[in-house]
Amino acid sequence: MGARVLLARHGQTEWHAENRYAGSSEVALTAEGLRQAEALARFAAEVKPTALFCSPQDRARRTIAPAAEALGLTPEIVDDLRETHFGIAEGRTRDEVRAVDPGVIERFLADPVAGSFPGAEDPHVAARRGARAVREIARHGHGLALVVAHNTLLRLTFCHLLGIPLAAYRTVFPQLGNAAVTELEIDGDRTALLRFNLPLDTR
């Protein structure tokens, strides 16, 4: 039996409502994002992961903080779990990107790998580093680990681990809910998807 890893997207940020590409930018959580972090902490208190990991970006660290307090654990910061950089889309909405480069959004939507934003991190590179980080976490034999990272990085990572073409990441995994949980079982090179995008009760 392999190691189980719970992977959650960070809570809602101030750019969420505008659908602005955050990428490597630092963006604060909203009040709803903080409630989602508390919901993740309640979930963690029930399932009791034995180790916590997160992206170095503040929105991920703020999201995992309540779980760390509830469990009495210190999250390990993993640089490879950071969000992808979106190049010319970084910090912009789709309309703002179109104003800079007409047609770029349509190329991206048609094929988010071949048509990735100019100046963006190569999706293949992001997928490999995300998968490397998750496999390393599983290899350490924590029993059950909780990881908080980012929407695009996680979807690319899932594709890489599950053998799904990267160009399909936006259609196979349309979006991860904020603080929603996906569970993987990893045994060497074998990865099983046990549950996907489990929403948490934020009441």
| pLDDT tens-digit readout, 145-199 | 999 999 999 999 999 999 999 999 999 999 899 999 999 999 988 999 999 999 9
Alpha helices (runs of H) in 23-150, residue ranges in sequence order: 31-47, 58-71, 94-100, 104-110, 123-139
pLDDT of res. 8: 98
CATH number of this structure's domain 3-195, picked from the four choices 3.40.50.300, 3.40.50.1240, 3.40.50.720, 3.30.930.10: 3.40.50.1240
Q: What is the arithmetic mean of pLDDT over 45-50?
A: 96
Catalytic residue check, 121: no
pLDDT of res. 104: 95
Q: What is the arithmetic mean of pLDDT over 60-64?
A: 98
Asked if residues 154 and 104 have their Cβ atoms less than 8 Å apart, the reply is no
| pLDDT tens-digit readout, 15-46 | 988 889 999 999 999 999 999 999 999 999 99
pLDDT of res. 152: 97
| pLDDT tens-digit readout, 70-104 | 999 999 999 999 999 999 999 999 999 999 999 99
pLDDT of res. 34: 97
Asked if residues 54 and 145 have their Cβ atoms less than 8 Å apart, the reply is no
141: left (phi over 0), alpha (psi -120 to 50) or beta: left
pLDDT of res. 201: 76
pLDDT of res. 99: 94
pLDDT of res. 200: 87
Our CA dihedral for 3, 9, 10, 16, rounded to 10 degrees, sits at: 180
59 labelled ligand-binding: yes
Catalytic residue check, 83: yes
Of the residues 16, 46, 83, 142, which is catalytic?
83
* Domain ranges (residues) in the chain: 3-195
